[in-house]
Structure 1
């Protein structure tokens, strides 16, 4: 079961090159609101079953099962979606049955935009938009990042420590 729920990001590290994880970012809890609402709706449908005509009870049961399946699928998808900051690069691993990996070396990051909508500012999440020299990139938008300012600072620190932005001014 753990193999299905854990994206196993450690297997993507370049250990022989000295790559270490600086931060592993999971989605903010706000992404689980829709699956929770779907689960409540499915539970309401199941609670309604005793009051439905026996000949038609199969329909709300199958509908509740479909809604629960969708909620479980979305929850698993959000749980397996990870954004990782290492001392050499940033990468994102996501997907349930198939897994996608998008990587960007720190040297290619030209700009990071942190977008914090009003509700995100209130409950503590934001979105990252990465700009790089490449026109097409697999790692551009990282949505629903908890504590985005701290994560942005950790990326800036790693970039600065790697010497990619020039010497620090005192």
Structure 2
């Protein structure tokens, strides 16, 4: 049974998505900052507390509360899996976002299309070490615009800027 469920989880083999014949190489693989897991884990904890109340409640209510608790735990774990499987990849040719639990969505943007990258850092983000990327591209409709809760965003921005310079898309002194 567990193997059947695990087969539904998408493959995160990034190598399958690379253009190896064209010399595409991964520069950085970025997962979300740990702060995105606080809410899903709090939801799981709430489900555990509902189940823990089982012996304290009348039997007519206890069974329903236990089922609700299991449902809350499953919901929290699904939300956690969504965050864990949301991956941002920087290569020397493009940036990609791969996400989804049961179905995989891949959004890519070639380096040549990146016009501007805005790094947004709130006060909380600066204190905890995360930020958000907003990509502006030459395309009207973008599949890859907002990437939220990126750890060490300034370092990731420098990685992208270096890739742009190496590709000859930006000068060595500026964006």
TM bracket, shorter-chain basis = over 0.9
TM-score (norm 1): 0.94
1:96-136: CA deviation from partner (whole Å, max 9, x where unpaired):
11111111000100000000111111100000000011111
Contact map agreement 1:77 1:95 (CA 8 A) in 2: yes
Name the stretch that deviates more: 105-114 or 3-12: 3-12
**CA 1:41–1:95 in structure 2 vs 1: closer, same or farther (change >3 Å)?**
same
Contact 2:45 2:73 in 1 (8 A): no
2:94 maps to which of 76, 79, 89? 89
Q: What residue number does 2:159 align with?
A: 154
CA gap of 1:84–1:151, structure 2 versus 1, over 3 A, is same
Q: 1:16 aligns with which of 16, 21, 28?
A: 21
Deviates more, 1:40-49 or 1:101-110: 40-49
Task: Say whether the 8 Å CA contact 1:114–1:128 is kept in structure 2.
Answer: yes
Please report the TM-score for the alignment, with normalisation by the length of structure 2: 0.91
CA distance in 1, matches of 2:40, 2:100: 17
Cα distance change on mapping 1:2 and 1:116 into 2, 3 Å: farther
Q: Secondary structure at the match of 1:159?
A: helix
Q: Which runs of 4+ in 1 moved over 4 A?
A: none
Match of 1:129 in 2: 134
Return 5+ residue gaps in structure 1 as ranges: none
The alignment partner of 2:24 has SS state of coil
Structure 2 counterpart of 1:31, from 29, 36, 41: 36
Q: Deviations over 1:5-57 (max 9, x none)?
A: 75222211111111110000001000000111111111111111101101111
Structure 2: stretches of 5+ with no match in the other structure: 1-5
Could you tell me whether the CA contact under 8 Å between 2:41 and 2:77 is conserved in 1?
no
In the other structure, the counterpart of 2:168 is: 163
Aligned-residue Cα RMSD (Å) equals 1.6
Check whether the contact 1:19–1:86 (CA below 8 A) recurs between aligned residues.
yes
Distance in 2 (CA, whole Å) between partners of 1:45 and 1:84 is 39
Q: Does 1:142 align with 2:142?
A: no
Find out whether 1:73 has 2:78 as its counterpart: yes
Conserved? CA contact 1:93–1:102, under 8 Å: yes
